[in-house]
Structure formats: structure tokens, C-alpha cells
Amino acid sequence: MRIGIFDSGFGGLSIYRSIRARLPQYDYVYLGDNARTPYGNRSFDAIYRFSKECIDHLFAQDCKLVIIACNTASAKALRTLQQKAMPAEHPDRKVLGIIRPSAEALADYPRDRSVALWATEGTVKSGSFPMELEKLAPGLRLIQKACPLLVPLVEAGELSGAGIDHYLGKYWRETVAEGGQDIGALLLACTHYPLLYPRIRALVPPEIDILVQGDIVAPSLVDYLARHPEVEGALSRNGSQRFLTTDQTEGFDRLSEAFLGHPVASEKVEI
Ligand code: DGL
């Protein structure tokens, strides 16, 4: 059986890239819901319905385990999936999100400083990160900043230049205005933002760590598989990968190269 990776579109490829680099032996199916992306400012109901349809499709492709490599879908759909749909419909499969391991990485920071994250409106409004951090590191101050313009800019290929620097500068100033001078770390809690890492690193003072989710989620999956031999033992090991998209393959193949560093040949699926 395979490992499924699901995202609202291309962004999850930034996380998949790190997962495959750490665990190249397994077989992967990536599904991007490009026809309905972005999820970032959609309602809870829409995100839950879209996510469930995509995850069901991945289970039908023989996935034992699905990683929701999308913050917005992890924030809004994971809990209901795990509590309701999974036990009723797929008791022998697993679905994991990326909020919990990312919150664990933030929870390691000392309580006398604050931590910040940048994400979509949907992730920020869901309150998922503060909820997890309250359990993991009560008292740790979190500044959440929604950066709604960054996903469309990345999807338009604007990874550098005056336009992107303008918006990054604005979001950073607003973050500092809220958090003061004691920010210890900035988590890029949206799948698209790692593509802007060089520009964000140039902007944010060097003493502030910038956390990228691929670096967090990949080791966390290694750890999960070591603790769950019933899942790991069911996984096949041919090193294969398939890329599925709900929209046109040409667009997917072109943009995915920016996320993966190599071209792919995707397949269109009807969900
Ligand atoms: N994948 C989404 C996330 O990480 C960003 C793109 C979208 O809004 O669909 O939140």
C-alpha cells in the first residue's frame, strides 16, 4: 500500500519533497485539488467536503496512510475526519495533519519570548495553532498573521522582486508591531511560503529562526512510522510516485517544477 499526500493544490509538494527525501523507499500518490484551490478563505463546510472527497479518492488508490499536507485543510477538516468519517468508513486507514507537529516545533521555544506564524486566513481563523500550543506550551505567546496575498503571488511565479518584497515587508512590520522585539521564531505555516524563504530570510533579523514545515513534518513521519509498525508494515517499497490533479495537467506539471525542482507528468482525476 502507498502513502497518500493531499493538498489543495501545488503547495503540499514543498512538504512532499522533504518527506520523499527522508523516506525514498515507499510508494507515494500526491493529489492536488487544483480545480478548487485555494482553500485558504473558504468555509469550514466546503473545506471539509473537498478534503474528504480527495482523501477518499486516495484511499481508493490503495493508500494506507494519508498526510494532509495543507495547513488550511489540517486546521479545518482533520479533527472531524479523525473523529467521525475515519472510524465509520475507513477504520483500517490513517490520516495525519501538519498542524500538530508544527505546533510541537514552536512549543520548544522558551516561554520568555514569543513565537510567530504566517498562514492563510482560514488557518488563522480556525484557532488550531493556539489550541494546540495551549496544550503543549501553556503561556507561550503566539502572534498569528494572515498573509492572504502570498499564495496568489507564488502561484503567479512571483518568487522575488520588488512586488513580493513589498508584501513581505508589510506582513513582517505588522507581525513585529504586534509581537514586539522578542520574537524567537517565525513558522511558515502555509505550504507556499517556503518558496519565498530566501526573501523572507533576507528580511527577518538573523537571530530569529524561520521554521519550514517540510523540515518538521518529514522527521515527524519517520517517528510515526517507527511507532506504528502496523502501518509501516503495510507499506510497499518500490520508490514509485504518482501525481494526480483535479485540474489540467499542463499547469500542474509546469508549476510543480518550482516546488519539486524537477518536472513531473501528472494525471487528471475526476473527484
Ligand atoms: N495549502 C494551503 C495551506 O497550507 C495554502 C493554499 C490554499 O489556500 O489552498 O494553508
Q: Is 190 a catalytic residue?
A: yes
Cα 268–Cα 18–Cα 47 angle in degrees, nearest 5: 50
Cell of 111: 516561554
Residue 54 exposure: Cα atoms within 13 Å on the Cβ side = 36
Q: Please report the atom of ligand 1 found closest to the CA of residue 41.
A: 8
Is the backbone peptide bond immediately before 206 cis, with ω within 30 degrees of 0? no
pLDDT greater than 80 at residue 181: no
Tell me the domain boundaries of the chain. 2-97+215-268, 100-213
CATH class of 2-97+215-268: alpha beta
The active-site residue, picked from 54, 63, 70, 147, is 70
From 5, 37, 41, the mutation candidate for ligand 1 (largest count of ligand atoms within 8 A of CB) is 37
- The pLDDT tens digits for 203-260 are 999 999 999 999 999 999 999 999 999 999 999 999 999 999 999 999 899 888 888 9
Q: What is the mean pLDDT of residues 124-144?
A: 95
Ligand 1 site, residue 39, Cβ cutoff 6 A: yes
Q: Please report the atom of ligand 1 found closest to the CA of residue 190.
A: 4
| 3-class SS string, 20-54 | HHHCCCCCEEEEECCCCCCCCCCCHHHHHHHHHHH
Q: What is the mean pLDDT of residues 60-82?
A: 96
- The pLDDT tens digits for 39-53 are 988 999 999 999 999
CA 112 to ligand 1 center in whole angstroms? 31
Ligand 1 site, residue 11, Cβ cutoff 6 A: yes
Amino acid occupying residue 38:
P
The active-site residue, picked from 54, 63, 147, 190, is 190
Cell of 17: 519533497
Domain 100-213 fold: Rossmann fold (3.40.50)
Cell of 183: 520574537
Residue 112 binned pLDDT confidence (cut-offs 50, 70, 90): confident
